[in-house]
Amino acid sequence: MKQLLPPGICLTCTDPCCHFNKGEDEHAPFFTEEQYREIMKRGFSREMMHYLPKRKVYQSKLRQNKGDDYVCAFFIDNKCMVYDIRPLECKLWPFFITKNQEKDKVMLAVDLDTFCPGVKKNLLETESGQSYVKYLIEFLSSEEIVSMFAKNPGLLHEFDPEFIYVGELKHITSAVFNKS
């Protein structure tokens, strides 16, 4: 998958995307059953995640870093310990795959209110930002991605009024909500 930012920017960042404010547990990454099993095979503690029975997915727990700063349980010593099998949402960040407000469509959304130094507030106004959104919508229409969401609809985030919604992911909408 093509990344929004060059890897060098992310790898040298001192305030990475794996940070959360106190009370933002709902934004912690979701994992499929397969990812969970792979993480357990690697010897990580079950205590680093919890199962969400209504969603039928696993979610990383957050741990306090400093003050009101919390980090993903797998973010240790300023490094993601499951980087090679990290969830799609971590690869997409600051973009999210969410339900719309009416909960009948799957949308691509972006959080431009992020602390990421590589993401500017005018991202969607730039040619490169618009091009990346088009790329993501096409990428997220692949059979592999659509199938993953069809099997794991709990990976979808709920509507967040603070996000900017940039387009419907029609193939995922059809797969998740059984629309033609």
Q: What is the pLDDT of residue 111?
A: 82
Residues 54-61, mean pLDDT to the nearest whole number: 95
Residues 135-154, mean pLDDT to the nearest whole number: 96
Sketch the domain layout of the chain as residue ranges.
Answer: 1-16+93-180, 18-85
Q: What is the pLDDT of residue 114?
A: 66
Q: What is the pLDDT of residue 104?
A: 95
Which of the two residues, 3 and 51, has the higher pLDDT score?
51
Q: Which of 35-44, 68-77, 133-142 has the lowest mean pLDDT?
A: 68-77
Report the amino acid identity of residue 172.
I
Q: What is the pLDDT of residue 126?
A: 85
ω into 94 cis (within 30 of 0): yes
pTM of this prediction exceeds 0.95: no
Q: What is the pLDDT of residue 37?
A: 96
Distance of CA 55 to the CA centre of its chain: 15
From CA 61, how far away is CA 54, in angstroms rounded? 17
Residues 82-107, mean pLDDT to the nearest whole number: 92
* Nearest residue to 103 via CA among 42, 160, 50: 160
> Strands 30-31 and 19-21: what pairing?
unpaired
Residues 102-118, mean pLDDT to the nearest whole number: 83
Q: How many residues does the chain have?
A: 180
Q: What is the pLDDT of residue 27?
A: 81
How many other CB atoms are found less than 10 A from the CB of residue 107? 21
Question: Is the pLDDT assigned to residue 68 strictly greater than 60?
Answer: yes
* Nearest residue to 29 via CA among 66, 62, 5: 62
Q: What is the pLDDT of residue 24?
A: 75
Which of the two residues, 58 and 10, has the higher pLDDT score?
58
